Chains A and B, each alone.
Chain A
Amino acid sequence: MKTVVQCEVNGEPREALVDPRDTLLQLLRDRLGLTGTKEGCSNGNCGSCTVLMAGAPVCACLVLAGEAEGAHITTIEGVADGNDLHPVQAALIQHGGTQCGFCTPGIVLSAVALLAETPQPTSGQIRHAIAGNICRCTGYDKIVTAIAAAAAEMQAGARQ
């Protein structure tokens, strides 16, 4: 028996018909066509499906679609303002923080959430914030550098 879920995704009201067994990940990818959110393990272990619910990072594969009723969700498609990139995205490009790119959307959202809470994170805090996002290509080094650079960039922007 399918039901209608209404929620706000990237600032826009959306609704979709979902199966009770569907996850938020399936809602986003299969019903709403937002395929930027990736499925890597469907078990909450890899973080590829990280999205923000009310600003907090969650694994979309661990949330049932029904639980998204009334929620405010941010996916990778809603991070940049058109082609005006978030500093985290720009820094990942600049510092070589994306290789195959499959984990990148999840990393971006974890980092965006971190910097919203902790504008001047230490490298330890950055590593902690992305510890739930497994990257198999980069060894994390350039991701950590990029997020630190984005934080510095945002601080500099805030001072202006």
Chain B
Amino acid sequence: MSDQAVIPLRVVGQRLPRVDAGERVTGRAIYPADLVRPGTLVGSIKRSPHGHAVIKSVDTTKALALKGVKAVVTGADFPEIVPGTIIPFGETGADLWVSALIVMARGKVLWVGQPVAAVAAVDEHVAAEALSLIEITYDVLPAVASIEAAMAKGACVLHPQHTTKGFEPGAAIPPNIGSRTLLERGDAELALTQSAATASIAVKVYTGHQGYIEPHACVAEADPQGNVTLWASSQGAHQTEIQTAGILGLPQSKLKVVPLELGGGFGGKITVHLEPVAARLAQISGRPVKMVMSRAEILAGGSGPPAAAQVSVEVGAEADGRLKAIAGRYVFDTGGIPGTPTTLLMQASAACYQTETLRLEGMDVVTSKPRTEAYRGPGGIQAAFAVEQAMDELAIKLGMDAVAFRQRNAAVTGSLMPAGTPFPSIGLTTILERVAAHASWRDPLPPGKHPRGRGLALGYWRGTSMTSAAQLTVAGDGRVMVTMGTVDISGTRTTMAQVAAEEMGLSIDDVHVATGDTKSSAYSDAAAGSRVGRTMAAAVVDACRDALGQLKGRAAERLQAPEVDVTYDRGVFRAGGNGGTAASITLGELMRQTLTDGAIIGRGVSTKLPFGVEVGAHVVDVEVDPETGQVTVLRYTAFQDVGRALNPTAVEGQMQGSVVQGLGWALTEAIDYDADGKVRNASLLDFRLPTALDVPPIDCVIIETPVPGVPYGLRGVGEMPIVPVAGAVANAVRRAIGVRVTNMPMTPERVLAALKNKAGNPA
């Protein structure tokens, strides 16, 4: 482990350009859709038109007979996978059954857009015709396409065999609940009745989307000896391999996943979607098969969106502002398959505050919608939309400044986290001091044409660590090559080249970092959970030290000195201990002389690194047009403790991108499902992502409170900065027009409805 902030760093912390930017700005970066293999077929999916139906029969005869069709598959072409088929995956393992149903329906369809069959054909036109020739008969069942419909008394139960866990014995359990979690400390109900002031809010968040610009794509090829190669755009090559092999019933020795460039994932490219289908079509046809989802497929059931949610929160405090209770109920839409976890998001939403009592209840509800998947701090923005509004309202009731109220109750190092364990090192109070002193909070809000308001919200995300592996070899000229087991999701090649250059005492130009395929790199968990920068840095540091140890032995031999007397600094080994000036040899010369003595292979594995918890605060100014309900974001400042910024440009890029994603969901983005689960806005015209004209510059304030026991004191970066966004905007809207908008996205019609409601019910 590095000694944090003791050794001055040369390369880590620099604003270096991405090492792979050149190929990106010239169009040379290769994503799976760009890959051309000889004789490649086009694969395409036949999707369910129903939200809930039994598949009575699938007849592929006519499709197979069409000239140019080379393979057709259905659920029958994949082995049966039962619920509870746990594969190694992240902290807890994952149920392969979930991935298998996302890839191909079996027996019944659970959402509109779920795959039912697939074809491989000579071109996209033939493939489209073949899909239309597949004859499927369904026995249509009632769909329950919202949380309300699914939980209503007498609702059609989507998974009759599923046992709901987490309720007390004898409790009345509503239909379609995946499981329930309760986290309780003290008597929150009593504390609320004893509070000098309380505030409560109930919000409804509609289904959003990760909105990665690169559609899901892959290319699969099978050789005559049964080896399958899969070129993928995925957040984890090893996760793609383990899921795909499991779904196909293929030994992992026969499957190689090659990660190509990833055109955005944000959580939506961890689970496999097309990959096992492409592989099976390639096995059957004996030809390479390329599959690319259309945007309409992505938005209408082909991919897993983040969860819709209903969250109600009540908070109470003493007259001096000290928080007495947080009580929250978090109901999350898991889509067509149970199992979306709520524990972490519940805890995250309350984590920034010290409170005497706490009662958090969460549950996932099965609906006739696509199985939800992760999206940047999964569930965090939905929960914070409720909690941060409740906290803001409480501050208003107490007559306290929003920052002062947070300072009064801010979690500190060692204070109790919602789970009851002490907080590891966090810099929330430092952040709040910086906010209080910053122009974005202190500057008077300039008057505008319409009412304006300034909002504040806090955010927390735990992130994860799991495991990362890197191997390092040294070339004959002393240059260093690192192969990572993770993909590059956020400039990982660049930041890890910085780490390797730092540790090896070299320039970044003397280091090459590659994302390995699954047969040339060692198991690493997915690029998710704000973990890759931190944990891969630890692995690379480990690999560098291992390699340097081996090199020192060789240098000692060449310098004819005892190994303990050999030192290394910036590319030179010297004999004679510290400050010794006797004999020396450069790393380059050493390798020229000894490369053929055998390879230097540095091994780096990091496992269960201390969590790099992320905290931050966002300040936003908005203007609300009371005639149209339009909310315009005028100014936005994001404060975040990142432990240490490996590359401040990359850190700002994560923060700014997160904020703008958050603004999109806060104000415009929602998938519009009808009562049968059909999507009514499956295009980027109607599912509206923010453009450059919709958002102001996003100012970033980076704070560095190192995490003990982690190289350079790194924290996670990428997820937290989406968490506070919608809450901050809602609080700004409240300060502008005096009403709370409780439905997200806060579209003009919802803002107008809130204003109208206020006019009809004067306080």
Contacts and interface: CB of A to CB of B under 8 A. Distances in A.
Interface of A: 19, 21, 29, 33-43, 45-46, 48, 75-77, 79-80, 85, 88-90, 92-96, 98-105, 108, 126-128, 130-144
A37 B490 CA distance: 22
B649 A96 contact: yes
B685 A45 contact: yes
Contacts of A45: 295, 683-685
B25 A43 contact: no
A101 B261 contact: yes
A136 B17 contact: no
Given A100-B262, A136-B264, A136-B657, A39 B292 contact: yes
B692 A143 contact: yes
B683 A139 contact: no
A35 B34 contact: yes
A94 B214 CA distance: 23
A96 B25 contact: no
Contacts of A75: 27
Given A137-B653, A139-B695, A40 B27 contact: no
A18 to B, nearest CB: 12
A89 B262 CA distance: 20
A69 to B, nearest CB: 21
Contact of B211 (A76, A96, A131, A136): A136
A93 B18 contact: yes
Q: Which of A98, A103, A132 gathers most chain B CB within 10 Å?
A: A98
Nearest to B700: A141
A24 B294 CA distance: 17
B109 interface: no
B263 interface: yes
Interface string B208-242: 00111111000000000000000000000000000
B697 A141 contact: yes
Contacts of A29: 34
Given A48-B213, A96-B649, A136-B211, A80 B26 contact: yes
B210 to A, nearest CB: 8
B683 A43 contact: yes
Given A29-B34, A45-B685, 16 more contacts: A36-B28, A40-B295, A41-B295, A46-B295, A89-B25, A99-B653, A100-B261, A102-B31, A127-B693, A133-B692, A134-B213, A134-B689, A136-B210, A136-B212, A136-B264, A142-B652
Given A43-B685, A138-B653, A131 B125 contact: no
B118 interface: no
A76 B684 contact: no
B661 interface: yes
B599 interface: no
B653 A77 contact: no
A108 B210 CA distance: 24
B698 A139 contact: yes
Given A19-B125, A41-B684, A96-B649, A76 B292 contact: no
Contacts of A95: 649
Given A40-B215, A136-B212, A93 B684 contact: no
B660 interface: yes
Contacts of B319: none
Contact of B295 (A43, A136, A141): A43
B339 interface: no
Contacts of B490: 99
B26 A131 contact: no
20 contacts: A35-B36, A38-B33, A40-B213, A40-B215, A43-B684, A45-B683, A46-B684, A48-B213, A92-B21, A94-B17, A101-B20, A101-B29, A101-B263, A102-B31, A104-B25, A126-B692, A127-B692, A127-B693, A138-B653, A140-B695
Interface string B76-118: 0000000000000000000000000000000000000000000
Contacts of B295: 40-43, 45-46
Q: Which of A36, A76, A102 gathers most chain B CB within 10 Å?
A: A102
B596 interface: no
A104 B28 CA distance: 11
B695 A103 contact: no
Contact of A102 (B263, B292, B698): B263
B659 interface: yes
Nearest to A134: B689
Q: Which of A19, A40, A141 gathers most chain B CB within 10 Å?
A: A141
Nearest to B494: A96
A128 B692 CA distance: 7
Contacts of B698: 139, 141
A96 B213 contact: no
A101 B27 CA distance: 8
A36 B261 CA distance: 13
B697 A77 contact: no
B509 to A, nearest CB: 15
Contacts of B697: 141, 144
Nearest to B684: A45
Nearest to A45: B684
A42 B22 CA distance: 26
Given A76-B27, A77-B26, A104-B24, A21 B33 contact: no
Nearest to B15: A96
A99 B87 CA distance: 31
Contacts of A35: 27, 30, 33-34, 36
Interface string B486-510: 0000110000000000000000000
B461 interface: no
B174 to A, nearest CB: 36
A95 B721 CA distance: 21
Interface in B3-42: 15, 17-18, 20-31, 33-34, 36
Nearest to A93: B21
A140 B684 contact: no
Contacts of A89: 25-26
A100 B264 CA distance: 6
B12 to A, nearest CB: 17
B578 interface: no
